[in-house]
Structure 1
Amino acid sequence: MSAKTVAFFGATGGCANATLVHSLLAGYEVSALARTPSKLTSQLLAQGLGQETLDRQLTVVHGDATNVEDVKRTLLPNGKLVSFIVSGLGGAPVLQMSIRQPLTNDNPDICASSAETILKALQEIHTEHAATAPEKPLLVYISTTGISNGPQDVPFGFRFLYHVLLAVAHEDKRKMESILRLHMANPNERERLLRGVVGVRASLLTGGVDYRTGKGWQTLKVGTEEEPAVGYTVARPDVGQWIFEEVVKKDAGDWIGKIATLTS
């Protein structure tokens, strides 16, 4: 594989942002889609990255993750398809006047819609660049515990919070996972647009956007969908660092096609 290049969606969120920072510190070339580019660059500068590093290694694309052309520009920095995609998108919780569903989401289908958009953008890229046969990227998505088809991965004390209060957001994550799983289940390998997918289901996220505030990725409890690590919370910086160390840095290692569960 050539030098690693990584495209980020949802890069202003704590998990993906930490992965982005570690990728820059490792010398990788990075592109990121942002609705407000200045917000992302301000976050990075506030974490101690220098403007020279950002100018040399970072391409920020102003746009929307559900717009195919914006996504294509993010996947093709300098005209070449990236080798990794990190999707950390998600909406913000919104209170509403409802007894049955008091909490909704400001963008209730952003995860599913962006997954479909990424696949559509990749299809157009492969069609437009068929002569050069671009190498397929690996995608890692950030999801949540509480939507597993396997053993219970949420502590009993959090199940009301997860299955009732966070139902809207979790349904979006579930749809996103289904879209990507269905795509990778295509028996015709030539029609798959990704060389692999890694899922990361995190416990309830804590902490803000600063990669230096975590306890360290090696302190995490790590499981799989079949044998999940069960816990209450996990820090965003630690999730982001784990993704960098175990997926981006190691080219996914043994995690390709699997779902990791992360908790403190």
Structure 2
Amino acid sequence: MSSSRFVAFFGATGGCTNAALVHSLNAGIHATALARTPSKLTDMLLAQGISQAVLDSQLTIIKGDIASVPAIKSVLLSKDHTLASQIISGVGGAPVIQWGLKFPVTVDNPEICATTTKNIVQALREIYAEQPTSASQKPSILVISSTGLSDVREDVPCGFRFLYHVILKVPHKDKKEMENLVAENSTSTEEVFCGGVVVRPSLLTGDQSVNNGKGLLKVKVGNEDKPAIGYTIHRADVGAWIFEHVIKTGGEEWFGQRVTLTY
């Protein structure tokens, strides 16, 4: 992989993040990605029309998982110790149905989003200790969260409020902690990230295929003060928005925001 600008991806086998990675590779952007099973990620990208030549020249896949800070450091640094300019994290757990009215839905790893973010922060702190880094050299981070977490305005339609505020309470607690970690480490005097963006899509549908979304013209965009309220959005369109408005541009205009995406 070239030592020029590159983007680090976590959760790249997930629909939204995978779609964003596909758009990035098609645009000639270099990337790194963490994957427990690299062949799974490679097969997903080949199925979307990314050539083996592009994979070989633009993508570095690090085998490992989010519990390993050394593996995360390998994703964040190129071989010549250049630091990623942006971090895209779409890590999430698989839903698990359980008996009980209080928490009927949990996930297989109920702290996976917060743990990933903590470990990214730790990895960056270790990198900064090893190679002093100016504020302008630090990466930004974008994390994929969910609607239903706002402390400012309701961003979920009435028909989905029981689902979001009761049934999904456990996974949403994890995502809220993740959001807080991004904010804390983007604005403090010892900031780890040069900026942070939280994307809150409504209920996700479809897979990662970039050809199956409705298109960005159908996507409504809001923020915490004026959320875009809707029922669903396709994973491919979330990935396309992340690429067009954050990866492609640097995303500075969205730093510090919690962006709602829906139809």
**Same structural fold, with TM-score higher than 0.5 when normalized by the shorter chain:** yes
| 1:185 positional shift | 3.2
Contact map agreement 1:246 1:253 (CA 8 A) in 2? no
User: How far apart in 2 are the matches of 1:87 and 1:218?
Assistant: 24
SS state at 2:198 partner: strand
Amino acid at match of 1:64: D
User: How far apart in 1 are the matches of 2:111 and 2:228?
Assistant: 27
The runs of 4+ residues in structure 1 deviating greater than 6 Å are: 131-134
1:127 aligns with 2:142: no
User: How far apart in 1 are the matches of 2:133 and 2:104?
Assistant: 52
User: Which of 82, 88, 91 is matched with 2:90 structurally?
Assistant: 88
Output one character per residue of 1:92-113: Cα deviation in whole Å (capped at 9) or x when no partner.
1001122322211101000001
| 1:194 positional shift | 0.9
| 1:181 positional shift | 1.2
User: Which of 152, 155, 159 is matched with 1:153 structurally?
Assistant: 155
Structure 2 match to 1:8:
9
Identical columns (%): 52
1:49 aligns with 2:50: yes
Q: Which moved more, 1:202-211 or 1:253-262?
A: 253-262
User: How far apart in 1 are the matches of 2:136 and 2:37?
Assistant: 29
SS state at 2:96 partner: strand
Q: TM-score, normalised by structure 1?
A: 0.95
User: How far apart in 1 are the matches of 2:161 and 2:135?
Assistant: 46
Amino acid at match of 1:175: E
User: How far apart in 1 are the matches of 2:186 and 2:233?
Assistant: 28
User: How far apart in 2 are the matches of 1:179 and 1:230?
Assistant: 25
**Structure 1 pair 99–133 and aligned structure 2 pair: CA distance change class (3 A):** closer
Q: What pairs up with 1:1-264 in 2 under 5 angstroms?
A: 3-78=4-79, 79-130=81-132, 135-186=137-188, 188=189, 191-264=190-263
Q: CA RMSD in A?
A: 1.5
User: How far apart in 1 are the matches of 2:172 and 2:139?
Assistant: 26
User: How far apart in 1 are the matches of 2:121 and 2:182?
Assistant: 9
Amino acid at match of 1:56: S
User: How far apart in 1 are the matches of 2:186 and 2:77?
Assistant: 22
Output one character per residue of 1:87-140: Cα deviation in whole Å (capped at 9) or x when no partner.
001101001122322211101000001111000000000111128988100101
| 1:209 positional shift | 2.1
User: How far apart in 1 are the matches of 2:223 and 2:136?
Assistant: 31
Q: TM-score, normalised by structure 2?
A: 0.95
**Structure 1 pair 199–133 and aligned structure 2 pair: CA distance change class (3 A):** closer
User: How far apart in 2 are the matches of 1:134 and 1:261?
Assistant: 27
| 1:3 positional shift | 4.6
Contact map agreement 2:114 2:177 (CA 8 A) in 1? yes
**Structure 1 pair 24–149 and aligned structure 2 pair: CA distance change class (3 A):** same
Output one character per residue of 1:7-27: Cα deviation in whole Å (capped at 9) or x when no partner.
000000110001101110110
Amino acid at match of 1:183: N
Gaps of 5+ in 2: none
Contact map agreement 1:137 1:196 (CA 8 A) in 2? yes
User: How far apart in 2 are the matches of 1:145 and 1:161?
Assistant: 11
| 1:80 positional shift | 1.4
Amino acid at match of 1:62: K
Contact map agreement 1:87 1:140 (CA 8 A) in 2? yes
**Structure 1 pair 130–158 and aligned structure 2 pair: CA distance change class (3 A):** same
